[in-house]
Amino acid sequence: MWFKALRIYQARNAQPWSTEKLQEALASRPFRHCSSQEEVSVGWVSPSGTESLVHSQGDHWLLKLKIEEKILPATVIREHLQEKTEAIEAQEGRKPGRKERQNLSEEIRFELLPRAFTRSRYLWVWLDGQNHRVLLDNTTDKLCEQALNLLREGLGSLPVVPLGTQKPATQVMTSWLQEEAEPSLELLDACELRDPEDDKAVVRIKGQPLTGDEITQHLTVGKRVTQLRLNWQDQLTFTLTDSLFLKNLKYADELLQEAEDVNPDQDPLIALDAEFILMSNTLSSLVDQLVSLHAGLNDQQSADQE
- Going by C-alpha positions, the residue among 274, 189, 164, 284 that lies closest to residue 235 is 284
Residues 229 and 276 in one domain: yes
Residue 2: inside a domain: no
In a domain? residue 220: yes
pLDDT in tens, 93-118: 888 899 999 999 988 988 898 889 99
Are residues 234 and 133 part of one domain? no
Distances (CA, A) of 265 to 76, 101, 260, 273: 48, 60, 9, 14
Residues 176 and 257 in one domain: yes
Residues 22 and 155 in one domain: yes
Q: Same structural domain for residues 19 and 155? A: yes
Any domain includes 193 = yes
Q: Are residues 228 and 282 in the same domain?
A: yes
One domain, residues 54 and 144:
yes
Q: Distance between CA 182 and CA 290 in Å, rounded?
A: 10
Residues 11 and 158 reside in one and the same domain: yes
Q: What local confidence, expressed as pLDDT, does residue 305 receive?
A: 63
Residue 102 and residue 210 in one domain: no
Query: Residue 146: enclosing H or E segment and its boundaries?
Result: helix 141-155
Q: Residue 109's pLDDT is what?
A: 87
Q: Please indicate, yes or no, whether residues 155 and 94 belong to a single structural domain of this protein.
A: no
Q: Give a yes or no: residue 1 inside a domain.
A: no
| Number of structural domains the chain divides into | 3
Q: Both 20 and 123 in a single domain? A: yes
Last residue of a domain, one of 97, 132, 162: 162
Task: Clarify whether residues 226 and 297 are in a common domain.
Answer: yes
In a domain, 96, yes or no: yes
Cα separation, 176 vs 285, in Å, equals 20
Among 127, 147, 162, give the residue marking a domain's end. 162
What is the predicted pLDDT for the residue at 264?
84
Q: What is the mean pLDDT of the chain?
A: 93
Q: Which residues of the chain have pLDDT under 50?
A: none
Q: How far is CA 149 from the centre of its chain?
A: 14
| pLDDT tens-place string over residues 235-258 | 999 999 999 999 999 999 999 999
The pLDDT value given to residue 248: 98
Residue 298 CB coordination number (10 Å): 19
Residue 39 lies in domain: 7-72+115-162
Q: What is the pTM of this model?
A: 0.89
Does residue 228 sit within a domain? yes
